[in-house]
Amino acid sequence: MKSAKVGCLFAALIIAFDGMEAQAQRLGGAPDSAISPGRIALSLVVCIATAVGLALIVRAKSPPGLASVGDFIKRGAGAHRRIERVESVRLSLQTEVHLLRCDDVEYLLVCGPGGNQVVDRRDLGPSYSAREQAE
DSSP class of residue 109 equals: E
* Domain total in the chain: 2
First-to-last C-alpha distance (Å) of the chain: 79
Closest CA to 106 of 128, 133, 78, 134: 128
Same domain, 65 and 88: no
pLDDT digits (tens, 9 = 90+) for 57-69: 887 887 666 555 5
* Residues spanned by the domain of 104: 82-134
- Tell whether the model's pLDDT for residue 21 goes beyond 90: no
Predicted local confidence at residue 125, as pLDDT: 78
Same domain, 64 and 102: no
Torsion of CA 116, 118, 119, 125, to 10 degrees: 150
Helices (H) and strands (E) in the chain — how many of each?
A: 4, 4
